[in-house]
Chains A and B, each alone.
Chain A
Amino acid sequence: QSVLTQPPSVSAAPGQKVTISCSGSSSNIGNNYVSWYQQLPGTAPKLLIYDNNKRPSGIPDRFSGSKSGTSATLGITGLQTGDEADYYCGTWDSSLSAGKFGGGTKLTVL
């Protein structure tokens, strides 16, 4: 069981909006930056969001991140079929002195 908890799956129609939650504790999300990763089938993970809400160059503003207390949220608007992927949150856990990922959320664009 992951230290960071994500829903196993979410789904929405093309053009709609979806949010993916990531719940942790004070030793990880509560006191460290959160990042989000997109993993398309058969490919390596790709950084989508870092430092809770910043987008790397080249990531469209359809992707957004937020953090409140010990939880973080990834938002995706204007869903496209190409967004179907697994999404992971990640952060450092200061108590465990280890990097941590959520269990991953599979996004289906219906």
Chain B
Amino acid sequence: EVQLVESGGGLVQPGRSLRLSCAASGFTFDDYAMHWVRQAPGKGLEWVSGISWNSGSIGYADSVKGRFTISRDNAKNSLYLQMNSLRAEDTALYYCAKGGLSITGTPWRIWGQGTMVTVSS
């Protein structure tokens, strides 16, 4: 069974950092690009970042560029999101999603259940 399980969310003060993880199973992880997508409470989906299979191609939404860093460890079938200088507007449920063969290749075919990040003092 293809599965993505996110972890690492929680309550954090503005300006602090948090690292999210996504454990993948049930498919050949290093064949696919991976993405982070977030959803603020009561709002729509927002693509955050994507990374190609070999980490050679990486992209970020303008809203997180310079503050967030995506990475992956194919040996551990894991995806990460390092979030620095967190702001209240980063409060959201963060989903890990399996992409296509390249970072530009939608769809986002498989989604995890998400991990909640709350930025508040």
Q: A residues within 8 Å of B by Cβ?
A: 2, 32-33, 35, 37, 39, 44-47, 50-51, 56, 86, 88, 90-92, 94, 96-104
Q: Which residues on A sit within 8 Å (CB–CB) of B60?
A: 98
Q: Output the least CB separation between B57 and chain A (Å).
A: 9
How close is A64's CB to chain B, nearest CB, in angstroms?
A: 15
- By the criterion CB–CB under 8 Å, are A90 and B108 in contact? yes
Known contacts A44-B95, A44-B114, A45-B95; is A101 also within 8 Å of B107 by CB?
A: no
Dominant secondary structure at the A interface:
strand
A44 with B113: CB separation less than 8 A:
yes
- On whether the beta carbons of B111 and A44 are closer than 8 Å, the reply is yes
Which residues of B, 54-101, contact A by the 8 Å Cβ criterion?
A: 59-62, 95
Can you give 19 A-B contacts (C-beta < 8 A)?
A32-B106, A35-B107, A35-B108, A37-B45, A37-B108, A44-B95, A44-B112, A45-B111, A47-B108, A47-B110, A86-B44, A91-B106, A96-B62, A98-B47, A98-B59, A99-B50, A99-B59, A101-B44, A101-B46
Residues of B in contact with A, size category: 20 to 34
CB-CB nearest in chain A for B114: A44
Q: Are B45 and A88 in contact (CB under 8 A)?
A: yes
Q: Could you tell me the distance in whole angstroms from the C-beta of A38 to the nearest C-beta in chain B? A: 11
Shortest Cβ distance from residue A56 to the other chain B in the assembled complex, whole angstroms: 7
A45 touches B45 (CB 8 A): yes
Q: Which of A32, A47, A103 makes the CB contact (< 8 A) with B44?
A: A103
The distance from the CB of B109 to the nearest CB of chain A, in whole angstroms, is 5
Q: Report the minimal beta-carbon distance from B115 to chain A, rounded to whole angstroms.
A: 11
- Look across to chain B and name the residue whose beta carbon is closest to the beta carbon of A97: B59
The reply to whether A99 and B35 form a contact with Cβ atoms under 8 Å apart is yes
Cβ–Cβ < 8 Å partners of B104 in chain A: 32, 92, 94
In the complex, whether B37 has a CB less than 8 A from a CB of chain A is yes
Indicate whether A2 sits within 8 Å of B44 (C-beta atoms), given known contacts A90-B107, A99-B106.
yes
* Interfacial chain A residues near B44, Cβ < 8 Å: 2, 86, 88, 101-104
Q: Which residues of chain B are near A91, meaning CB under 8 Å?
A: 106
With both beta carbons as reference points, the residue of chain B lying nearest to A51 in the complex is identified as B107
* Nearest chain A residue, comparing its CB with the CB of B93: A44
